Chains A and B, each alone.
Chain A
């Protein structure tokens, strides 16, 4: 900053801030005007999907939308999470409890189910939306049914205020349990069996058996108030035959109220006998809970032109032995203040390489932009090119080359972010800094710790849907050299009921289902304790070795190798582990069971934020097979995906669920707080945890560590490069 301006700022801040300056950022929280409510579109049914009351509609949620539906009527509670995985694909996971079941060994019948819906036709002026859906499509589930449905919106119907929506469809399975008009695609359809292991795709029953029409009308009177009326052919055979409730009618109706933009509540009269309620919550990962802000950057200082001031472009400084150290000492403080760690700096007469890692931002475009600013502000004018090497835990992820002239000229040009992207070059980074590089003074060694509470949940126990353990956790990490990590976590349980869960009935080695025994064995445990080293073996290959108590149930040695060029969509990896089961008390001892396990993995960036992963190999129980993962990643760090694993374990050996499957959700903390943070909250939800298809849980797998510095993630983040 020119001295004159800097002194003005200082004088201004010193003299003005008390008298004049009100924080814009704070002020906006206090007096924000409440906007009008935004009506949920579409609204949800009792299955947590777009629909009328108990029947589906043809609508899709807005792309990326999450919908949480909690409904209750006649002793039946359904909790459903739906996700609009793509503009046309909606996927749902549901957990239900049916009281007064009193048969098949259950007082309350609990079950999990998955739904899938595909939008065949989008709504047009004279054409309804048309969708096809599979409800509870895995196994002979209680809610198994299929449908083909159309929905059309009308604005100011019959000159009434608001808007109306008419839905009509054909249903199979549960949706055709009364009022059938025939069986066009075959008669045979297996019946619901509460004791079935379930889990497998029930292709043989889809669209078989009788078909019944269904339909309904929704009238949204104003922004908040809506009315629904429907005809539902669902006879609730399994429920009414067990006395869960009485069904006297096929007509349901109700009223809904939009409480906030996210929350909609409804009350209904269903099947001529029951009062029902439905809470609908919708939000979109694309819209952060708190909008992201980051304090503005320092201004870029534009060099005088070479013609104006040729002397300033002199390169004699480069010959000075003290120059690198002096330059590091002026660049590093700016970066440190901005949450960027300078790992090394190498400067020649016309080029500089800064190796940096982020301590604050998950968005690495901000790291690139601010590093480039600091270099442009501090380096001698003769330095024309900046190589900014993004580092993570000792791994050089990629090299972004930016011409200093572009940094100086593009910031306030139209479409400035894309203009800089087009002018920048992304390439593989050399494993180590060039000769002559000066290490950052704060790079190594580093020590960190955290002390606080932990929660360990366990879901879907038939006796108790949610079990929980709560306690204190102490974690420490020591990074003593590039790529080296010594890490450990000790936990002390204060309360919980994990230890009263059901004991395992697994016929496989109990690599995951002995959690109850682990919970019973001791209150103070070593959650993990390991040393790892990772490094780059070449310009696009990475390696990692980890040894110690790797996870809650296993300790051992893990080695991994990954090939992933910075600009490639494809990554290939191989991992080999020797693991031994830990003692139940989770101290230092081991049990007898040990296994050699490992995988060959392929990672592919499918484009538009979709990622696929295939892992083939041997799992913890010694079973051999493959895991298929498909994930959607939002540029702000949200990740939502599903996976399933098929191995040589039969569904009978596997037990309930037939094979391992589940959902992964990762939410960046910054999405909640609106400030930069590298923290994430993530969870994996499995309908049931069994022993087949279980993978060793090693922290620090390479692909996850480096992808944020590669082409797709960087491009997605790039909109913030000038911040």
Chain B
């Protein structure tokens, strides 16, 4: 009996401490246990540092632009910095932002054009009319199509038929600073009722300071706030 217990203890210890190495990922039982066990342990370590208290002084001290991104249904917020900028055949400037762990979001003049590294990501988007509306600071209605990654490595196309309106002129306050904005809202049908896209656009230069954009059935609504331009 003792021998069996010792054996089991040894086995259990090895299950925890089992090791693999070298150049190729092994597909042995041992290395699979290790993979699953490591992932389980990582999932248990949920001590997340509280997000920092945003103050005007902190924002002022930043040396690079900063974007706050919140996924509402995950109650998750991250702070991103610019990664790259480019133009393509579509309207507007594409700016990709990234977090320290390479979560990325690409905005086309404030409209989400793609996300990477979040799960159920937005692969690509067709929202040229929304971008044009933001550039003109005036509503234009049109299609807003999302191409969302599904759990099977595929892309689900979600075509939305959108009507845009001006909610009104507002003074938007972001961390103690106030901006004169026009609040544009797209109300879209095509996916189980009405989904919405809200943009708070600077009336002076069309800077998009804040948005709330529907990003597919899994991601739900994503909010962005431009903390520093």
Partner-B contacts on A (CB < 8 A): 1, 5, 8-9, 11-13, 15-17, 19-33, 35, 286-288, 290-297, 299, 302, 359-360, 363, 365, 409, 411-418, 442, 446-455, 470-473, 475, 477, 479, 489, 494-495, 634-636, 669, 672-675, 677-681, 716-720, 722-723
- 9 CB < 8 A contacts A-B: A15-B63, A26-B46, A295-B101, A452-B14, A452-B18, A452-B29, A452-B33, A679-B35, A718-B153
Instruction: Give the CA-CA distance A679 to B31 in the complex, in Å.
Output: 9
Residue of A nearest to B82 (CB): A8
Q: Is B154 an interface residue (CB 8 A)?
A: yes
A residues within 8 A CB of B88? 409, 411-413
Instruction: Give the CA-CA distance A363 to B153 in the complex, in Å.
Output: 8
Contact: B152 with A412, CB < 8 Å? no
Contact: B154 with A719, CB < 8 Å? yes
Known: A22-B51, A494-B11. 4 other contacts (CB 8 A): A12-B63, A293-B118, A454-B28, A673-B36
Q: Is B4 an interface residue (CB 8 A)?
A: yes
B221 to chain A, nearest CB (A): 13
B residues within 8 A CB of A31? 48, 74-76
Instruction: Give the CA-CA distance A412 to B118 in the complex, in Å.
Output: 17
Contact: A21 with B100, CB < 8 Å? yes
Contact: A412 with B94, CB < 8 Å? yes
Instruction: Give the CA-CA distance A75 to B152 in the complex, in Å.
Output: 41
Contact: B74 with A448, CB < 8 Å? no
Q: Is B84 an interface residue (CB 8 A)?
A: yes
Instruction: Give the CA-CA distance A506 to B22 in the complex, in Å.
Output: 43
Contact: B116 with A296, CB < 8 Å? yes
Instruction: Give the CA-CA distance A635 to B83 in the complex, in Å.
Output: 31
Tell which of A418, A442, A672 touches B36, judged by Cβ atoms closer than 8 Å: A672
B residues within 8 A CB of A25? 101, 103, 117-118
Residue of B nearest to A21 (CB): B100
Q: A28-B74, A453-B15, A494-B11 are in contact. Are A16 and B20 (CB under 8 A)?
A: no
Contact: B150 with A20, CB < 8 Å? no
Contact: A24 with B118, CB < 8 Å? yes
Q: A415-B157, A454-B29 are in contact. Are A494 and B10 (CB under 8 A)?
A: yes
Instruction: Give the CA-CA distance A544 to B32 in the complex, in Å.
Output: 26
Q: Is B19 an interface residue (CB 8 A)?
A: yes
Q: A28-B76, A716-B154 are in contact. Are A415 and B29 (CB under 8 A)?
A: no
B218 to chain A, nearest CB (A): 8
Tell which of A297, A413, A494 touches B124, judged by Cβ atoms closer than 8 Å: A413
Within B1-46, the residues touching A (CB, 8 Å) are: 4, 7-8, 10-11, 14-15, 18-36, 39, 43, 46
Q: Is B193 an interface residue (CB 8 A)?
A: no
Instruction: Give the CA-CA distance A131 to B18 in the complex, in Å.
Output: 49
Contact: A448 with B24, CB < 8 Å? yes
B residues within 8 A CB of A296? 98, 102-104, 116-117
Q: Is B171 an interface residue (CB 8 A)?
A: no
B residues within 8 A CB of A679? 25-27, 31-32, 35
Q: A472-B11, A669-B36 are in contact. Are A29 and B43 (CB under 8 A)?
A: yes
A residues within 8 A CB of B32? 669, 679, 681
Instruction: Give the CA-CA distance A202 to B101 in the complex, in Å.
Output: 59
Contact: B78 with A673, CB < 8 Å? no
Instruction: Give the CA-CA distance A288 to B39 in the complex, in Å.
Output: 14
Q: Is B211 an interface residue (CB 8 A)?
A: no
Residue of A nearest to B155 (CB): A719
Nearest first, the 3 A-B pairs at minimum CB distance are A452-B30, A452-B18, A448-B22
A residues within 8 A CB of B121? 723
B residues within 8 A CB of A473? 28-30
A residues within 8 A CB of B25? 359-360, 448, 677-679
Instruction: Give the CA-CA distance A23 to B46 in the complex, in Å.
Output: 11
Contact: A416 with B124, CB < 8 Å? yes
B110 to chain A, nearest CB (A): 14
Contact: A286 with B94, CB < 8 Å? no
Q: A20-B79, A299-B96, A359-B23 are in contact. Are A675 and B153 (CB under 8 A)?
A: no
Q: A12-B81, A21-B100, A22-B49 are in contact. Are A451 and B19 (CB under 8 A)?
A: yes
Q: A24-B71, A412-B106, A470-B11 are in contact. Are A9 and B98 (CB under 8 A)?
A: yes
Within B81-136, the residues touching A (CB, 8 Å) are: 81-86, 88-90, 94, 96, 98-104, 106, 108, 113-114, 116-121, 123-126
Contact: A669 with B35, CB < 8 Å? yes
Contact: B64 with A16, CB < 8 Å? yes
B residues within 8 A CB of A302? 86
Q: Is B169 an interface residue (CB 8 A)?
A: no
| Chain B 144-185 interface mask (CB, 8 Å, partner A; 1/0) | 010101111111010000000000000000000000000000
Contact: B117 with A21, CB < 8 Å? no
A residues within 8 A CB of B15? 452-453
Q: Is B208 an interface residue (CB 8 A)?
A: no
Q: Is B138 an interface residue (CB 8 A)?
A: no
Contact: B64 with A24, CB < 8 Å? no
Contact: B18 with A26, CB < 8 Å? no
Tell which of A1, A20, A23, A295 touches B52, judged by Cβ atoms closer than 8 Å: A20
Contact: B22 with A447, CB < 8 Å? yes
A residues within 8 A CB of B46? 26, 29-30
Instruction: Give the CA-CA distance A343 to B227 in the complex, in Å.
Output: 45
Contact: A288 with B23, CB < 8 Å? no
Contact: A365 with B153, CB < 8 Å? yes
A residues within 8 A CB of B83? 5, 9, 299
B residues within 8 A CB of A634? 152
Instruction: Give the CA-CA distance A35 to B152 in the complex, in Å.
Output: 22
A342 to chain B, nearest CB (A): 13
Q: A22-B48, A675-B39, A719-B150 are in contact. Are A33 and B75 (CB under 8 A)?
A: yes
